[in-house]
Each structure stands twice: as C-alpha cells, then as structure tokens.
Amino acid sequence: MFLKLFTGTDQDDKYKVGQIWEYRTRKGEEKSTLIIVGVEKHIKLGTIINISVGGLKISNPNADNGLSDEIQHLPFSKVAIDKSVTKLIETTKKLPDYKDGYDEWRTAFDNGKAGVFSITVKESIDVMEKTLGQ
C-alpha cells in the first residue's frame, strides 16, 4: 500500500507563496529578504516552507567575485521560519528561479538523503557559508 506523505498546497494560515519577509539577518546583510516559493504539508514533518533568500554576502570560493548574493532554495520547518521572520513586506507573483534547487532537494528528500532546516534562516546561512569554505 502506498502512503502519501505530501499534500499539495501553496499556503497555510500564515505563510503563502510570493510573500516577501524581513528576517533576523546576519551582520552586514540587514537588507536581505526571503521570499516564500513553496508551502507543503508533510504527514510526519508538518508544514515545510520553501524559501529563496537574496541580499546576501556569502563567502564562496566558487563565485566569480568570491561572494554569493542569493540562495535559490532552502527548505525549513514552519517553526524555524516562525523564529526567523520579523515583518511581512509585500506579496509578489514574480518568484525567483528556485525550481532547479527545489527539484534537487525534493529528489534527495524523497530518497531519504535530505531533510529540512529546523534552525533559523540566519543560522542556516552560516552553515552554508562554512560548508562552501571547506
């Protein structure tokens, strides 16, 4: 018997696709914002909020100028997003190009090789920067 783990949706009671939020940022990235690119309900994990983040200054030895200014896709628990966001700025219909990153994550997730962040957005960006530097 097949167990359906995801139910398709694009919103919950607070978070909706296209919302642009201010969040608790890293020092020097105070103008950074996140945009919600997907909202999914998972039978075991609850609500998963997929985001894209712009306005960053991530040290990245693979980038032309040594810095990355965006992360196209990151998956979070709703609790982690609740701890991160501070103010809803606006809602847009124009989403960033997140699909490749989402598809890569979703394939790995479905194969049991990826999860969702339960730490704040700020903390996850720190983790990504440290990983890129290795």
12 or 57, higher pLDDT: 57
User: 48 pLDDT exceeds 90?
Assistant: yes
**Distance from C-alpha of 120 to C-alpha of 97, rounded to nearest angstrom:** 22
Please name the amino acid found at residue 94.
K
- pLDDT value at residue 16: 95
* Mean pLDDT score, 101-113: 94
Name the average pLDDT for the chain: 91
- The encoded tokens of residue 50 equal 């997929």
- pLDDT value at residue 133: 78
Angle, CA of 28, 73 and 48, to the nearest 5°: 110
User: 3 pLDDT exceeds 60?
Assistant: no
- pLDDT value at residue 134: 73
Question: 63: pLDDT confidence band, cut at 50, 70 and 90?
Answer: confident
User: 79 pLDDT exceeds 90?
Assistant: yes
pLDDT > 90 in the chain, percent: 77
